[in-house]
Amino acid sequence: MEHSALALPLPVIGLVALVFVAGSFALLRAIEREEKVRARLSRAINYDGGPVVVPKSEGVKALDLVARLGGALAKSGILSDTTRKQLEQTILSAGLRGTRVFGLFIGSKVLLMFGLPTIAYLAIHNLGMKPTNFYAVMGGSFAIGMLAPDFFIKQMRAKHLKAVERGLPDALDMMVICAQAGLGLENAIERVAQEFVFANKSVSLELAICASEMRIGTDRRVALLALGERTGLDAMRRLAGTLIQTMQFGTPLSQALRVLAAEMRQDNLTKFEEKAARLPVFLTLPMILFILPCVFIIVGGPAGVQIATALK
């Protein structure tokens, strides 16, 4: 059976699919980086006082097209309100901000769902595969395209929340210093957000959003509650509850934050101790597979050699 020019070996198919998926994953991360750079450049001022004009690159235009496609699909009513809110909450908890991120997520998901099966079909339809294998490859490529963006967002969310949980006690210590220096709650949160940009971007982002909501909104309690609900972390909810109590009952802010920071550090230390306590269990299998055979060879090797010599 002659193969056409479109027929490719299976390793090449897998490599093309992997590159396509990796490139699509990179789109979600690149959009945030592009928006930050463009926002900083747009705020820069020339010597004549005019704003800096930032031309759009081809990569940004491609991202815009994908975001517009996803936005149009989201507005068409395909997604229910509950599903849309859950997706938006997941994206927010992953540390992704911007009006185009949701549309980019939906657009990349749709492109992957139809792009990967198309590439797989063009690559294998003339290879003479069995129908069962052919349909399995097509179904697998469709499933990868459908689930890959969700997996990527979940990984980013786990990384973002871990960074927030790791850097929050240090942020509270800096907030204590700001409170002792005479800054109010809103100014202290904003100052810590500015100082933590290079130390921990995740904590800085969450505190900056909270400071913006407190500055724009009329009820600071709502902004603090949103700080706890946005990430879903118990530490953030405790922080929000502590700050609300200080405003409601007039307790000293620095003292409450110092106690809360000490509790969070103790919780992190407890988690590390739990992980260390599980190490002997994890080391049991490697010890059985790699150490015990060596011990048996060393102990029983000479006796085995003597028995083999005696039997000759």
pLDDT digits (tens, 9 = 90+) for 5-58: 444 555 566 666 667 667 666 766 666 666 666 665 665 544 344 433 334 444
Q: Whole-prediction pTM value?
A: 0.65
Q: What is the pLDDT along the chain (312 residues), one digit of tens a residue?
A: 444 444 455 556 666 666 766 766 676 666 666 666 666 566 554 434 443 333 444 445 666 777 777 777 777 777 777 777 777 777 877 777 766 777 788 888 888 888 888 888 887 777 767 777 778 888 888 888 888 888 888 888 888 888 888 888 888 888 888 888 888 888 888 888 888 888 888 888 888 888 888 888 767 888 888 888 888 888 888 888 888 888 888 778 888 888 888 888 888 888 888 888 888 888 888 888 888 888 888 888 888 888 888 887
- Determine whether 221 is exposed, middle or buried from the number of CB atoms within 10 Å of its CB (0-12, 13-18, 19+): middle
Cα–Cα distance for residue pair 248/238, rounded to 1 Å: 15
With contact defined as beta carbons under 8 Å apart, do 144 and 117 qualify? no
pLDDT digits (tens, 9 = 90+) for 127-145: 767 777 778 888 888 888 8
Half-sphere exposure of 25 (CA within 13 A, CB side): 18
CA 285 remoteness from chain centre:
31
Query: Looking up tokens 């063009």, which residue turns up?
Result: 122
- CA 251 – CA 299 distance, rounded (Å): 69
